[in-house]
Amino acid sequence: MACSSLLKLTASSSSWIAGQQAVNQRPGSAARFPTRRVSVIRAGSYTDELIKTAKSIASPGRGILAIDESNATCGKRLASIGLDNTETNRQAYRQLLLTTPGLGEYISGAILFEETLYQSTTDGKKFVDCLRDENIVPGIKVDKGLVPLPGSNNESWCQGLDGLASRSAEYYKQGARFAKWRTVVSIPCGPSALAVKEAAWGLARYAAISQENGLVPIVEPEILLDGDHPIERTLEVAERVWAEVFYYLAENNVTFEGILLKPSMVTPGAEHKEKASPDTIAKYTLTMLRRRVPPAVPGIMFLSGGQSEVEATLNLNAMNQSPNPWHVSFSYARALQNTVLKTWQGRPENVEAAQKALLVRAKANSLAQLGKYSAEGENEEAKKGMFVKGYTY
């Protein structure tokens, strides 16, 4: 990247961080940003490619298909339709998804589990090549899952930094161009200051390592739906978490133009007595984003978090009724796959119908990204909620 371009990136990030200094200081506390100077964001060898990849994924009318479930979680999905958790069955299901004709019209990226990144179709074609043929960017889940966080209030932290640089380099050689790291924050458990800091720091280190190895990092601190709290409490926690995340992203010299975010929508807890409308969820979510996310970030790719297929689409649509500083789109797993799986039932004769079901959901969310979706004609199956308390991948 040219020096002038780098200076623009640095100036943009510096001015945003300066605005966050006042936000992060609590009454009666010492200044969090004393006389320290803002870190300079350095241009690495992949900077231009990272920015190009992020923009490609954040393209109008398209979003991300998340099929990065661990083998254990994929096994639970297969068990729901009576299939054993074998590599052959996992490969057959992923082949169904990744070879859907025309999928690239609505999907710009696909997050894969490590097993899938190295798999091929039954005809011998690599899955990454199937995606490229549809102009879909292959991505890879790089975290190693959640474990208990000592010293916290029964909270978790995400492991996987050890060996991440070498693994990321290998994933890049295999064709991956973006990465995903999911950590979680629980409102019923606090969240504690320790858990929030650990989540933010881990995400920032992962993001820096990913960019050093040519992968656009998806930054995902999922605020779990668990709890009976009101939407105002979710907003409060989300603002706190994202302020911490961006503070540490800057500390680790992460280039904001070369990342994507995967936030939770700001909703009431799943067990709250009152459900919020799509317009209310859009209002609170966009308020949080405008307060915390610099416009340098190219894309906001929401997770569905157990919402029904229709709920996730309606909420996304509500957020795109007026222009936003970023591409506001989707990175859905269950909210794209639920109907597909139930249509397939593990039967070869149902593959075409299941692929058509995937295109229906992908198109619906494509329209929502453009602010043009209507739920008219949606079937009852697509309206069923998929929230699972304490859900893990």
Of the given ranges (25-29, 92-96, 97-101, 267-271), which has the lowest mean pLDDT? Answer: 25-29
- How confident is residue 29, by pLDDT bands cut at 50, 70 and 90? very low
Task: Give the helix/strand (H/E) hosting 91.
Answer: helix 87-98
Q: Out of 220, 222, 244, 309, pick the active-site residue.
A: 220
Total number of domains constituting the chain: 1
Active site residue 372: no
Q: Out of 155, 262, 309, 378, pick the active-site residue.
A: 262
Whether 393 is in a domain gets the answer no
Q: DSSP label at 298?
A: -
Query: 135 with 104: CB under 8 angstroms?
Result: yes
Structure tokens at 346: 């593990």
Predicted pLDDT at 386? 46
Residue 189 CA to residue 6 CA, distance in Å, equals: 41
Res 215 pLDDT > 70: yes
Average pLDDT, the chain: 89
Predicted pLDDT at 44? 72
In 115-207, where do the E strands start and end? 137-141, 146-148, 156-158, 178-185
Residue with tokens 């966080």: 149
Whether 319 is in a domain gets the answer yes
Averaged pLDDT, 242-252: 98
Residue 315 CA to residue 300 CA, distance in Å, equals: 14
Whether 389 is in a domain gets the answer no
Whether 60 is in a domain gets the answer yes
Whether 2 is in a domain gets the answer no
- How confident is residue 16, by pLDDT bands cut at 50, 70 and 90? low
- The 10s digit of each residue's pLDDT in 343-355 is 999 999 999 999 9
User: Of 16-30, 31-45, 46-60, where does the model show the most confidence?
Assistant: 46-60
Predicted pLDDT at 230? 96
Predicted pLDDT at 376? 79
Higher pLDDT, 45 or 211: 211
Whether 35 is in a domain gets the answer no
Active site residue 262: yes
Whether 13 is in a domain gets the answer no
- What CATH number does residue 357 fall under? 3.20.20.70
Domain range for 291: 46-373
Residue with tokens 């500390």: 251
Whether 22 is in a domain gets the answer no
Higher pLDDT, 327 or 226: 327
Res 26 pLDDT > 50: no
Q: Say how far residue 353 (Cα) sits from the centre of its chain.
A: 27
From 43, 216, 230, 35, select the one nearest 140 (Cα to Cα): 216
Integer-rounded Cα Rg, in Å, for the chain is: 20
